[in-house]
A and B are shown apart, each in its own frame.
Chain A
Amino acid sequence: MKGIKTVFLFLLCALMLVPTLVLAQGAVEETGESYMRLAWWGNPTRDERTIKVVNMYMEQHPNVKIETETTGWAGYWDKMNTQAAAGSLPDLMQHDYAYMLQWVGRNQLLDLTGYVDSGVIKLDKVAESALAGGRVNGKLYGINLGSNAVCLVYDPAVLATCGIAEPDSTTWTWADFERIATEVYQKTGVQTIPFFTTDPKVGFDNMVRQTGASTYAKTGKGLGFTDPTVLKEFFAIQLRLLKSGVLINPEIAFVTVTPEEGELAKGRTWVEFIWSNQLASTQSAAKRPLKMALLPKIANAKQPGTFLKPSMFFSIPATAENPKEAARFLNFFLNDIAANDILLGDRGVPVPSDVRAHMTEGASDINKTIFNFISLAANNSSAIDPPDPTNSGEFLKMFRDATQEILLGKISLDDGAVKVMAKGNEILKK
């Protein structure tokens, strides 16, 4: 009898502790404190700056407590998707153009129009074109945190050594690119890296957009192009460069590496293909000044292939516990000059015009380069395509595998192009 009593007492104590611990995790307390969670993906530089801004906000609003969660890009969506399934998403989260449509379709995000109309989020200095990316069916689901554009960076010192004039990025063609790459290789032995090894579709997309088509159909249920000419040219340029020894061996180039381990940092390529807001990390890994250029034109280009991409958004999940505070913080993050002085455009060129003007004045060299490039891109771009369809993950993998197969010579160029189009349609129609 004594034994059984002790056992049950023990169990009872254990059970009592559980709810206490759960409640201690914290929720909105009745003491007038406002609590919210903020999540973003980033890198050490971005994390450091963002946390400084969060602390600044908490100093200005002593009753607010913000808990931050951050990961790298690689694990971010795994985490967010899991939290979405559990209904435990944060109050404010960073979002991406590629996934916005899907999340809106699943009613996971809050329409921010209410906050904009009531003045909690001030968008009077933001051009509508910058907001377009965050709109679905006219409603606003994400605020653009910065503009981004695809580009290539090159080492001007190498070109200077070869006596090659730097290209005019608004007029140069892929033929010019091939000529320069070949000359650089012949004179210095420095090679050229394959185009966008992590995601070759980005390079192809830029080229096919110049014909007025796009990779994905507007509805997302198939390819957005029927003529394989540009697709073949995308591979053909690289194959030609590979044949003459200019292109870095794909077996080396396609290995996933950090910027410090990459071919540009090792001085083995004169060019690298990136998104504009990666300039800071790319240049610091390369340890030498780089210049930015728009991607070259194809023959008979009808329009520019570049587009201004919202680099990332801040969105408020539909299940957020404290959306009001999230909206207030969002407004601060977007519009506050002092906050942006800390962030230094790390997420892309700021969208409110007054912030952008202020940033350009006092910008570091790297940021000046990026800001100027974005202005250049803005004048040489065409409208952004709709967000990637749901099956784009599978499509991107297929495209990347096909690129490697073609470059490694496992499949002929023509067969490869046929395969990409056939499989692409098959995947997207699912």
Chain B
Amino acid sequence: MNTSHRKAQLMNDLSGYAFISPWLIGFLAFSIIPILFSLYYSFCDYDILAKPIFNGLVNFKAMFSDDLFWKSLQVTFYYAFVSVPARLLFAFAVAMLFNRGARIIRLYQMVYYLPSIVGGSIAIAVMWRRLFMSDGAVNAVLGALGIHTTISWIGKPETAIWTLIILAVWQFGSSMLIFLAGLKQIPQTYYEAADIDGAGSFMKFTKITVPQLTPVIFFNLVMQLISGFTVFTQAFVVSGGMGDPLNSTLVYALYLYQRAFKYFDMGYSSAMAWVLVLIIGLFTAVIFKSSSSWVYYESKEGK
């Protein structure tokens, strides 16, 4: 009885692996192995045309004295910690507005969701650059509203990063849909009970809606933070690949790319990549750790 049971179990496992083998092979070949290589390169001096030369922690040490490294960290942190909350707040607010169920709302939902599908593309980023040039559409609209300005929003060191932040916030649609799904899942019974107890809409919002949505907020926060730290495409196109103007849009991934392909310093870039992994891991761990105190899971009721 035991051996045939084990055999059946083995067959089960093997057939499972067989079915996912195409993905597994791809994952090993195109993800795991390059990641391991990158870890090795981070301890090397590698200019891509010659063989990598092992040099220990030199790359990591060099990072500490590299002004542009700290600048790129600062830019990325600023971008992430401004755009992520802004985006989530927007998404939340609009999801609340949409939680009415009227049919016409469907059209609006689609319209608001579109930017997040196309937003990561080069074409949108190119168009975005044109919008914010000194003779672009943004200044034209402001002019129509009576504010005459020729400020080159993407050319001014103080404002360039904001064009990227606005681009990120503009793509709030995907987060909004997730919030909307979460909102629809809140049992109406809670609201009815609150009405019976005479609670106002503010009380209902803070005591029912928000706590019920904390799992969704948690999910969105982690996902958006990760994508905020790893932003590249938009910064690359808007800044012309150089972190213009004056490195105010030099996000971490862009500097990593420059070091790899313009400075021919693959070892340093790999080291930067792993430092980013550590940073993101740290923040995600902090959020996860704190989640037990502020995220409410229905299924864990009574714990």
User: Which residues of chain A have a CB within 8 Å of any CB of chain B?
Assistant: 3-4, 7-8, 10-11, 14, 74, 77-78, 81-82, 84-85, 102-103, 106, 108, 249-257, 261, 266, 390-391, 393-394, 397, 400-401, 404-405, 408, 410
Contacts and interface: CB of A to CB of B under 8 A. Distances in A.
B69 to A, nearest CB: 13
27 contacts: A3-B15, A4-B14, A10-B18, A11-B18, A14-B22, A81-B261, A82-B48, A84-B48, A84-B49, A106-B47, A106-B49, A251-B151, A251-B155, A251-B245, A252-B134, A252-B155, A253-B155, A254-B155, A254-B244, A255-B240, A255-B245, A256-B244, A261-B130, A266-B135, A390-B264, A401-B247, A404-B245
A255 B152 contact: yes
A141 to B, nearest CB: 14
Contacts of B157: 251, 408
A254 B48 contact: no
Contacts of B103: none
Given A102-B49, A251-B152, A255-B155, 4 more contacts: A254-B245, A401-B246, A404-B245, A405-B246
Contact of A106 (B50, B130, B155): B50
B171 interface: no
A99 B244 CA distance: 24
A256 B261 contact: no
A257 B154 CA distance: 12
Contact of A78 (B135, B246, B261): B261
A81 B49 contact: yes
Contacts of B99: none
Contacts of A85: 48-49
A107 B242 CA distance: 30
A78 to B, nearest CB: 5
Interface string B132-162: 0111000000000000001110111100000
B262 interface: yes
A400 B240 CA distance: 13
Given A252-B152, A256-B242, A393-B262, A7 B15 contact: yes
A254 B160 CA distance: 12
A340 B262 CA distance: 33
A249 B133 CA distance: 12
A7 B11 CA distance: 9
Contacts of B152: 249, 251-252, 255
B154 A77 contact: no
B239 interface: yes
Contacts of A397: 242, 258, 262
Nearest to B154: A255
A7 B14 contact: yes
A393 B263 contact: yes
Contacts of B245: 251, 254-255, 404, 408
B21 interface: yes
B241 interface: yes
Q: Which of B11, B155, B157, B239 lies at the interface centre, i.e. has the most chain A CB atoms within 10 A of its CB?
A: B155
Interface in B250-279: 258, 261-264
Given A11-B18, A81-B49, A393 B244 contact: no
For B48, B49, B129, which residue has the most chain A Cβ atoms within 10 angstroms? B49
* Smallest CB-CB A-B distances: 7 pairs: A256-B240, A251-B155, A106-B49, A393-B262, A252-B152, A251-B152, A7-B18
Contacts of A8: 18
A10 B21 CA distance: 11
A256 B264 contact: no
Nearest to B132: A255
Nearest to B50: A106
Given A256-B240, A256-B241, A408 B261 contact: no
A107 B247 CA distance: 35
A394 B48 contact: no
Contacts of A391: 263
Which of A81, A85, A251 has the most CB atoms of chain B within a 10 A radius of its CB? A251
A333 to B, nearest CB: 25
Nearest to A390: B264
Interface string B74-87: 00000000000000
Contacts of B11: 3-4, 7
Nearest to B247: A401
B48 A261 contact: no
Contacts of B150: 252
Centre residue among B129, B151, B261 by max chain A CB count within 10 A: B261
Contacts of B155: 249-255
Contacts of A400: 242
A105 B167 CA distance: 44
Contact of B246 (A261, A390, A410): A410
Contact of B49 (A103, A253, A394): A103
A394 B62 CA distance: 15
A320 to B, nearest CB: 16
A401 B18 CA distance: 54
Contacts of B258: 397
Nearest to A255: B155
Contacts of A14: 21-22
A124 B11 CA distance: 73
A64 to B, nearest CB: 29
A7 B20 CA distance: 12
Interface string B225-245: 000000000000001111011
B246 A393 contact: no
Contacts of A257: 133
Given A14-B22, A256-B239, A261-B133, A408 B246 contact: yes
A261 B154 CA distance: 14
Contacts of B129: 255
Contacts of A252: 133-134, 150, 152, 155
B92 to A, nearest CB: 34
Interface in B13-33: 14-15, 18, 21-22
B43 to A, nearest CB: 17
